[in-house]
Structure formats: structure tokens, C-alpha cells
Chain A
């Protein structure tokens, strides 16, 4: 596809369950970013990948959150033992290089609701 895609678009899960969110970046984009957008709040940086490597994981809210990227392309964000405060829209973005210098292109997001 031409843009960043994310799946699923909506996910409702019960508290305590694990969820996996997927991001397909634009082909050729080496940098990939995950953000969280809670209701009424600005985007919160979670983690970024340069290739398959994540140099800075300090933005992940807790050790229940993890992310990986394989083949320099698809990335998955996994939330274990979900809590109600995890409910938010999770946005993925990709860019040709590091976002400080390159345009970021965002996906439509995954809306996660934890009941």
C-alpha cells in the first residue's frame, strides 16, 4: 500500500488479557515510531526503531509493554496483562530516517478499549 497501515483498527479486550498491535510502514522507511494518544491528551512517544533496533525503550509505560520489528519492516506492539488505563489510540508512524530530520507519516491508529 501507499501509506502506513495498522491492524486491527479497533480492539476490545478484557482486563488481564494480552493484545498485539501491528504496524506496516511505508516500504523503504527505515525508522518506525509508536505513540499513544489518550483521550484529551497529546501524543505520547513510546518507542522507535531504526531498522530492527530500538535504541531507546524508556518511553514504554511499563514492563508490560514490548515491541519488536523484524526484517526492517513490520512492527508489533504487545501489551501483556492489559489494564483499563491502557485504553487509548495507538499510532504508528514511519519515516525515511530519524524523525528529527525527516517527515513522519502516520497510520490511522488502533483504538484499544480494555473493559
Chain B
């Protein structure tokens, strides 16, 4: 059974940092591109970042480029998102997903709230 579990969300002040983690099981993690997708309260889905299966290629949405860093550890079946200089508009549920183009598997998400 495929399982993806995100963690690390919480309440942070504007300008602060958080590190999200995602642990996967039930599929060949090291074979998949991995993604972070976010959803602001009551809003739609927005791609944040992706990382190639070997970790050598990363891409970011314009809204987070220079502030967020995606990484992975295939030995631990884990994906990470380091988020710095957080803004109120980064408030969202952050989902971890697996898939080279479409997303085959999704985690349940972790809520990040940026507020003073």
C-alpha cells in the first residue's frame, strides 16, 4: 500500500522559516520525480517545486524561487522543503506528491500558517 506522510507544518511568524518533510513507502521512491503542491484555504492547487528522482534537477514556481529549497534523501525515502522568508501568502496546506508529470500518489498534507 502506498503511503506518503508529510510533517513539519505549523504556525510561524512572517519572515520565519520552516522545514517540511515527507516520508514515502509502498512504491519505488527513488524512481519518481517528487513534488510539493500547496493549497491556500478555500483555494485551488498550486505547484510549488519539483525534484528529479536522482536529486540533480530542481525547479520552482516564481512565487517561491529564492526562498524555498527542495531536497530528497532516497536512502530514507524522504523529501524535504526548506522554506525561508515566509510570507502571509505562503499560508496553505502543503502536499507531497510522486509522479514524473501527473501526480500518481499524494500525501494528506501539512498545514503551514504564516501569521503574527
Decide if A and B are genuine partners: no
